[in-house]
Amino acid sequence: MTCPHSLSANRRPPRFRLTETTPAVLQFEDSRTASTELQVVSRTGGLLAVAKPVDQGSLATLMFRTHKGLVFATAEMLRPLSWNSQPFRFVELKEDDHRKLQAAFLSGIYRNLQEEEWIEEFRSAILNWDPPRRRRFSKAVLAAVTVATLCVSAIYAFSAHLR
């Protein structure tokens, strides 16, 4: 059994938004089930679309299908983000299921949210870029002062040489 939390605490694992509707089922310890939809997944957890929030801390078997096969994992439900959106973390993910999930990530079918967010930030920065005018003014003033200092130094050196 593999627990996917071995990543450095400083680095968040890549998150993948699913491009297709991915039904998922939660089966709780008391045999209750809840139909959900997997929206985002990473090596350490993900985000589910739920009909109603599940109690924070609840453990359930999470089942969903990737194009590489069915994945079964034990998941802990985290604090709901809204009435219909709830994150979870993998508590237990068997090696075979971990391989299926990793193969799905590597296949390129899922969209990497970190890359998309970075690209959007970059596009926004380019569109909203306004070069700072103060720096241009400061550079021009600095250049003028430097040229004036050189001229005064040259005049002084020339006049001292003539004496």
Q: Would you write out the chain's pLDDT as a tens digit for each of its 163 residues?
A: 455 544 445 566 666 676 677 899 999 999 999 999 998 888 889 999 999 999 999 999 999 988 888 999 999 999 999 999 999 999 999 999 999 888 887 776 665 555 555 566 666 666 676 666 655 567 778 888 888 888 888 787 777 666 6
Residue 103 C-alpha from the chain's centroid:
20
Residue with token string 């005064």: 152
Q: What is the CATH number of the domain that holds 87?
A: 2.40.10.220
Q: Give me Rg for the CA atoms of the chain.
A: 29
The pTM assigned to this predicted structure is 0.60
Same domain, 108 and 42: yes
Residues 6+ apart with CB under 8 A from 33: 25, 26, 27
Same domain, 54 and 86: yes
Classify strands 85-93 and 69-77 as parallel, antiparallel or unpaired.
Answer: antiparallel
Which domain range does residue 147 map to? 134-163
Residue 52 within any structural domain of the chain:
yes
Residue 117 within any structural domain of the chain:
no
Same domain, 58 and 106: yes
Residues 65 and 100 sit within 8 Å (Cβ to Cβ) = no
Residue 34 within any structural domain of the chain:
yes
CA distance 46 to 75: 10
- Count of structural domains, the chain: 2
Residue with token string 């983000």: 81
